[in-house]
Amino acid sequence: MSVLSAFKNNPLFLSRKDQLHQAYVWNKDGLSSTTSTGPQLKVHLKYAFYKNLIQTTNGEVTETSWLEVNGVTFKPDRSYIVIGYHDHLPVFSLIRKIIVQPEVAFVCEKVKTMCRDVFAACFIISLTDKFCVHQLKDMLVHTVFHSHKVLDELAIVSRYCIGGEP
């Protein structure tokens, strides 16, 4: 650990001292996450379209109409998440169902990222009719994205720099 001195650069000294204090607070208390959900509904897996993707001991899951984690709101059929990269393009998944019990999980429809439109600052996507399950820890970008219909294509406009080389 370095010794801090305030002889030459007071703003640097104060910022480092504040960073050390914040690191101490986070280490002591831990990083807590705030979570809230919408109305919940118990669903028997034998009636769910995703029954082959999830296993539970009692054959039931609890779905919700929305989930908010640390200020980010996830809504089925509206929210896309980034779960990986392929050929320097982000791999998106469209959230179809949100499960909160036995653990938080998203039943997602796989999305194929066709290309990046540099001039419109968007990604052109297409839905695949294949489903998968993801958890919060699978997300590479901790925010949600939304699609827009442009002519006959779906586009995800991003204000963040995601993906690799153009």
| Residues sharing a CB contact under 8 Å with residue 28, sequence separation 6 or more, in sequence order | none
Q: Supply the range of the domain harboring residue 79.
A: 35-157
Return the pLDDT at 5. Answer: 56
| Residues sharing a CB contact under 8 Å with residue 77, sequence separation 6 or more, in sequence order | 94, 95, 96
Return the pLDDT at 88. Answer: 84
- Least confident range from 2-11, 48-57, 62-71, 137-146: namely 2-11
Return the pLDDT at 97. Answer: 94
Calculate mean pLDDT across residues 112-141: 89
Name which residue leads in pLDDT, 5 or 151.
151
Whether residue 20 is contained in a domain is answered as no
* pLDDT band at 39; cut points 50, 70, 90: very high
pTM as predicted: 0.76
Whether residue 102 is contained in a domain is answered as yes
Return the pLDDT at 14. Answer: 78
According to DSSP H, which parts of the chain are helical? Answer: 10-29
Whether residue 91 is contained in a domain is answered as yes
Which stretches of the chain are assigned E, i.e. beta strand?
35-37, 40-44, 60-64, 67-69, 72-74, 80-86, 89-101, 105-117, 122-134, 147-150, 153-157
Return the pLDDT at 64. Answer: 93
Structure tokens at 46: 């034998």
CATH code, domain with 152: 2.30.30
Round the average pLDDT of the chain to a whole number and report it. 84
Distances (CA, A) of 51 to 47, 67, 70, 136: 7, 21, 29, 20
Whether residue 30 is contained in a domain is answered as no
3 pLDDT exceeds 70? no
Q: Into how many domains does the chain fold?
A: 1
Whether residue 133 is contained in a domain is answered as yes
Place of tokens 């990046």: 116
84 pLDDT exceeds 70? yes
Return the pLDDT at 23. Answer: 73
Name which residue leads in pLDDT, 132 or 164.
132
How far apart are the C-alpha atoms of 31 and 24, rounded to whole Å? 11
Instruction: Name the residue among 132, 142, 8, 130 with its Cα closest to residue 74.
Output: 142
According to DSSP H, which parts of 1-159 are helical? Answer: 10-29
